[in-house]
């Protein structure tokens, strides 16, 4: 009997001590972390949306933790302990089958895009493997007053009627749009939270160059003429895919009724690139393109991308899909940025 007490009791005692030290105590200490500056609790609707997020296991494919690594800079600044004060249950996640969502409210603020993407992700990102959450929407003959039906592409729209979000979808949208990183106190410089993001970007871009000769040889093969202004077609395409294609699409056609086309777009083909540069830098609200008003806001990219990257994107747009706008230089972007909003 004594042996049993030693083995079962002794080992359990040792384990209990270790469980206290490695599980319970860190839990107690870290649970007391105070919220960082600007970190707010969720509203009732956003909190309900968070429950929808949990019930459907979104965090099995989407993390909510930005690591202090170059490859994570596209998601925002590194997560800080104070960011998680109101986050119970924690949703840091363990896999990125899809992108990190820590800052998705800033990175993709368009409700129309989010709804289309939830209804069927392939309507906006053809290569996506995310499930369709069409069961969070309903098909009605006519949208009730005050509700805008979701402008789905024909291939994804129901044959009859229009698609409107249910309460669950509205709550989930409210939660997703609430996911915004408040800037850390140290970053409140000229560019707000942009500084670390920009540093991260250029690092990532640099490592892309190092990774393969492809990045440097691609421009030569590309149809776009090297304009002698430092335009890098391959990098332009990469940046466009990462930042712009979700709305304007890889074809430059946009999505009718939701996101304007860049192909044949007046601002993109205008010899005076000022409007084009300013829209990319500062974003756009209630855009009027070719007489159509678009309700989706376009996010500003001045905070997250450097001048050279923005020039690359603009030149890519100006030289693709049959567009023939005059190329811009990094200096032009710098000048427009200096003018401010």
Of residues 62 through 91, those in contact with other proteins by CB under 8 A are: 63, 65, 67-71, 74, 78-81, 83-91
- Cα–Cα distance, 108 to 106 (Å, whole number): 6
C-alpha to C-alpha distances, 179 to 91, 105, 185, 208, 311, nearest whole angstrom: 12, 5, 18, 28, 28
- Please measure the distance between the N-terminal and C-terminal CA atoms of the chain and give it in whole angstroms: 80
Dihedral of the alpha carbons of 254, 256, 257, 261, in degrees to the nearest 10 = 40
Does 106 bind other proteins (CB under 8 A)? Our answer is no
- Which residues 21-60 are close enough to bind other proteins by CB under 8 A? 22-24, 26-33, 54-60
Question: Is 311 within 8 Å of 281 (Cβ atoms)?
Answer: no
- Which residues 225-284 are close enough to bind other proteins by CB under 8 A? 238, 241-242, 245
SS3 (DSSP) at 246: helix
Contacting range for other proteins; rule: CB under 8 A; set: 12-20, 265-273, 296-304, 325-333: 12-20
Q: Which one, 57 or 225, has the nearer CB to other proteins?
A: 57
At 1, list the tokens.
């009997």
Q: How far is CA 74 from its chain centroid?
A: 8
Cβ 75 to other proteins shortest distance, Å: 9
- Cα–Cα distance, 268 to 263 (Å, whole number): 8
At 191, list the tokens.
């560019």
Give the contact letters, 173-202, x = binds to other proteins (CB under 8 A), - = no: ------------------------------
Cβ 31 to other proteins shortest distance, Å: 3
Q: Which one, 14 or 266, has the nearer CB to other proteins?
A: 14
Cβ 316 to other proteins shortest distance, Å: 13
Q: Which one, 56 or 295, has the nearer CB to other proteins?
A: 56
- Which residues 199-228 are close enough to bind other proteins by CB under 8 A? 204-205, 207-208, 211-212
- Cα–Cα distance, 238 to 234 (Å, whole number): 6
Contacting range for other proteins; rule: CB under 8 A; set: 107-115, 132-140, 183-191, 225-233: 132-140
Contacting range for other proteins; rule: CB under 8 A; set: 96-104, 188-196, 280-288, 302-310: 96-104
C-alpha to C-alpha distances, 310 to 200, 303, 304, 305, nearest whole angstrom: 15, 11, 10, 6
Cβ 186 to other proteins shortest distance, Å: 16
Binding residues for other proteins, rule CB under 8 A, total 83
Residue 172 φ/ψ, nearest 5 degrees: -60, -40
């Amino acid at each position: 009997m004594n042996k049993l007490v030693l083995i079962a009791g002794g080992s359990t005692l040792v384990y209990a001590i270790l469980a206290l030290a490695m599980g319970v105590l860190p839990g107690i200490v870290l649970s007391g972390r105070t919220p960082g500056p600007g970190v707010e609790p969720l509203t009732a609707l956003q909190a309900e949306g968070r429950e929808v997020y949990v019930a459907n296991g979104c965090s099995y494919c989407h993390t909510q933790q930005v690591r202090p690594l170059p490859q994570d800079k596209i998601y925002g600044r590194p997560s800080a302990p104070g960011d998680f004060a109101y986050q119970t249950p924690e949703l840091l996640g363990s896999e990125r089958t899809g992108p990190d969502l820590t800052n998705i409210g800033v990175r993709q603020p368009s409700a129309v895009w989010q709804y289309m993407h939830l209804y069927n992700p392939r309507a906006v990102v053809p290569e996506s493997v995310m499930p369709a959450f069409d069961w969070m929407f309903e098909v009605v003959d006519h949208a009730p007053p005050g509700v805008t039906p979701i402008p789905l592409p024909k291939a994804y729209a129901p044959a009859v009627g229009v698609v409107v979000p249910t309460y669950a979808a509205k709550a989930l949208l409210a939660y997703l749009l609430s996911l915004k990183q408040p800037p850390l106190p140290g970053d409140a410089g000229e560019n707000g939270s942009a500084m670390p993001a920009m540093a991260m970007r250029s690092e990532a871009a640099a490592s892309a160059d190092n990774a393969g000769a492809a990045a440097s040889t691609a421009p030569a093969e590309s149809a776009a003429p090297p304009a002698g202004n430092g335009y890098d077609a391959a990098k332009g395409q990469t940046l466009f895919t990462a930042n712009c294609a979700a709305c304007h699409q890889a074809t430059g056609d946009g999505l009718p009724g939701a996101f304007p086309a860049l192909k044949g777009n007046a601002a993109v083909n205008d010899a005076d690139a000022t409007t084009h540069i300013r829209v990319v830098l500062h974003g756009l609200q209630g855009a009027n393109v070719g007489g159509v008003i678009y309700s989706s806001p376009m996010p500003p990219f001045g905070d997250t991308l450097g001048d050279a990257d923005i020039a690359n994107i603009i030149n890519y747009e100006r030289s693709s899909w049959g567009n023939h706008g005059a190329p811009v230089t990094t200096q032009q972007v710098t000048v427009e940025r200096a003018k401010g909003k």
